[in-house]
Chain A
Amino acid sequence: MFKKILIANRGEIAVRVMRACRELGIATVAVYSEADREALHVRRAEEACPLGPSAASESYLNIDKLLEAARRTGAQAVHPGYGFLSENAEFARRCAQAGLKFIGPSAAAMELMGSKTRARQTMAEAGVPLVLGSGALKSAKEAETGAEKLGYPVLVKAAAGGGGKGMRLVRERAEMRSAFEAAGSEALRAFGNGEVYLEKLLESPRHIEVQILGDEHGNLVYLGERECSLQRRHQKVLEEAPSPLVDEAMRLRMGESALRVARAAGYSNAGTVEFLVDAGRSFYFLEMNTRLQVEHPVTEMVTGLDLVQLQIRIAAGEKLPFEQKDVQLRGHAIECRIYAEDPENDFLPSPGKITRLMTPAGPGIRDESGVYQGWTVPLEYDPLLSKLVAHAGNRRETIARMERALEEYFVGGIATNLPLFRRILRHPEFVAGAIDTGFLERLLEEPAAEAGRATPAEDGEAEVAAIAAALFAATPAPGAGVSTNGARPAEAWKRAGRQEGLREEKWRE
């Protein structure tokens, strides 16, 4: 087993990987940019190396600096997390050349899956169902002919794409030429590769993905699916496992397709096979993510496995410690991605200082956070603060548990999307499990229920809010503390503490 691992990432995922390392008795090395000097992942590591300027290209994306940090600290392996260099085959190759183990699949498997056109071709040969589409396109003319064959609407997609970049929806022939050119040039700028292809548009599909895990001895298992249809602008917001749509038979079919994908790619370590699912419950291979996913905790909750520890053990050459028949799903899990963005203000990002942080606890609750009270969330990186995960016996109980935990959650000083989740969790279509990738955008177009129909209980709450607002206004400085019983809060707490102490002593007697 490795003695020391460098985590080439930041934020909550770096903290998550460090937790796994500590449990395995492995020393951790953090890396950080100037903006992250005081970040939680730096505080949690045993060693930390500065990378330089805040721009990702000069820090977290700079392969030379990362390899130098690993060399200096004597790390034996690198965990890339997600995002940044996690799906960069060149980074994997450079790590190998430097004598470092890259915790992930082989560079060859990453390259195959990194090209959507090559991946589609390989999967078609392996007998995996695909969304109808084309190969790489050479000209707008070819795109027009291809689209006529598929039937509009179609998507023009970048072969190297991801996250909605280099993608255009084309509803009719007249739009094709400009979409073809725009997608190609956007892809060239974003990924250094302007190759595009066509995919038939599925109207309001679901997005369901299968977690797979393979060791370096040819053993592969699938760990059930995740429902990821709740997205806004191609960014996932809430995920759950299992999917409310998928039954035992469908899970088996999807799992076996995912394993065919992984086998065809010669895949090892953790990976995710994404499928689009249509209204008739037919599923089609979309792409494979060759890394740990943001939403991996929901799979961990229902399988009872620690995916990050397994990633590390696989990279160290161990065999999978279980077989497919040992994988049992238990209960239901939901994850909410807490972003520093304001849902009531066009989702404007809101970096800044976290003046107060209250995190939920209690049964079945897990908070995967990358922040702490008093820290200033930098504006340079993505707005994910934390992932709140709830686990309970079934979907209905998990929704109730998540609502309870969200009420306990509070981030002061910056705006977050916390209020959005209450609307989602209470929406009748969500409760019924009738969701697709258009659900969230439709929900956001509905007028917020808050203002309109207030029940008497909520009206009483508005009065409470008014009294509280007046008290806040009467408080000279935030935190200076006034209490209406005349005592300074510190004294009040001391007194309460003393009383608690007395009580405890009595109890001991």
Chain B
Amino acid sequence: MTYDVVIAGKSYRVELKRGKEGCACRVDGREVALESVCAEREVLWLLLGGRSYEVRREAGATGAMHVVVRGRRYAAEVRDPRAFRGRRATAGTDAGPLRLLAPMPGKVVRILKAEGEPVEPSEGVVVLEAMKMQNEIRSPRKGVVRKILAAAGTAVSAGEALAVVE
């Protein structure tokens, strides 16, 4: 299996091949001596060239993969190069309607923008309350609020669309 992994803006090509003698691993074409055990949920033990690492996987609030190495957290973007082309074609661009999603479950407290109103980048559209805190869900870009999908006073789950900005 081959993956392109982007960490802090740098891309690594990681090739993994499972054999009788364990796992063969190459990073950017370079052979790496790797032993690993995924014995527990979200935790990997790696032995890399004699160095031992315990690596954990975290779920970021936005659903991205976060891996923690020695207390340091890295956001990792993993792509399968075979699927790369297809992905790229459908990846979001600045044009077209954009759905504002609830980043966490919560209760809609207020709607700040009416349908048809313009919004500026990082201007709040909906106020969502969770864990006794009120959070503005902001538009990432300039546009017009096409649709408000959430109603004040209702509960929403994570990933639910709250509004559409175009």
Stretch at the interface among B90-98, B131-139, B143-151: B131-139
Look across to chain B and name the residue whose beta carbon is closest to the beta carbon of A384.
Answer: B131
Question: Cβ of A486 and Cβ of B22 under 8 Å apart?
Answer: yes
Closest 3 CB pairs between A and B? A484-B23, A469-B76, A407-B71
A419 lies within 8 A of B5 (CB): no
Q: In this assembly, does A135 line the interface, its C-beta being within 8 Å of a C-beta of chain B?
A: no
Report yes or no: B46 in contact with A406, Cβ–Cβ below 8 A. no
Tally the A-B contacts, defined by beta carbons under 8 Å.
Answer: 202
Distance of A342 Cα from B72 Cα, bound (Å): 14
Inter-chain contact A484/B22, CB cutoff 8 Å: yes
Residue of B nearest to A467 (CB): B14
List A contacts of B127 (CB < 8 A): none
B36 to chain A: which residues have CB within 8 Å?
471, 483-484
Inter-chain contact A468/B44, CB cutoff 8 Å:
yes
CB distance from B131 to the nearest CB of A (A): 4
- Asked if A473 meets B3 with Cβ closer than 8 Å, knowing A345-B60, A379-B131, A485-B35, the reply is yes
Cα A419 to Cα B39 with chains together (Å): 24
Q: Is B101 an interface residue (CB 8 A)?
A: no
Within 8 A of B (CB), among A357-412: 358, 379-383, 403, 406-407, 410-412
Count of chain A residues with Cβ under 8 Å from any Cβ of B? Answer: 60
Smallest CB–CB gap between B65 and chain A, Å? 6
Collect the chain A residues with CB atoms within 8 Å of residue B104's CB.
348-352, 379
Are B132 and A474 interface neighbours, CB within 8 A? no
B1 proximal to A (CB < 8 A): yes
Contact of A471 with B65 in the complex, beta carbons under 8 Å: no
**Is A465 part of the binding interface, using a Cβ–Cβ cutoff of 8 Å?**
yes
Q: Are B32 and A467 in contact (CB under 8 A)?
A: yes
Give chain B nearest CB distance to A355 CB in angstroms: 6
- Measuring CB to CB, which residues of chain B are less than 8 angstroms from any residue of chain A? 1, 3, 5, 7-10, 12, 14, 16, 18, 20, 22-23, 25, 27, 32, 34-44, 46, 48, 53, 55-62, 65, 67-74, 76, 78, 80, 103-107, 130-133, 135, 158
- In contact, A467 and B34 (Cβ under 8 angstroms): yes
CA A16 to CA B40, docked complex, whole Å: 29
Known contacts A381-B131, A383-B131, A484-B36: A467-B46 contact under CB 8 Å: yes
In the complex, how many angstroms separate the beta carbon of B39 from the nearest chain A beta carbon? Answer: 4
Q: How far is the CA of A467 from the CA of B76 in the complex (A)?
A: 10
Decide if B158 touches A352 in the complex (CB within 8 Å). yes
A458 at interface, CB cutoff 8 A:
yes
Which residues of chain A from 481 to 496 have any CB-CB distance to chain B below 8 Å in the complex? 481-486, 489, 492-493
Docked complex Cα distance between A358 and B68 (Å): 13
CA distance A352 to B158 in the complex (A): 9
* Bound CA–CA A483/B42 (angstroms): 13
Q: Interface centre among B23, B58, B62, by most A CB within 10 Å? A: B58
26 A–B contacts, CB within 8 A, in A order: A344-B73, A345-B62, A345-B103, A348-B103, A349-B133, A352-B59, A381-B132, A403-B71, A410-B42, A412-B41, A415-B59, A419-B71, A461-B70, A464-B48, A465-B55, A465-B74, A465-B76, A466-B7, A470-B3, A471-B44, A474-B1, A478-B42, A482-B38, A486-B18, A486-B20, A492-B39
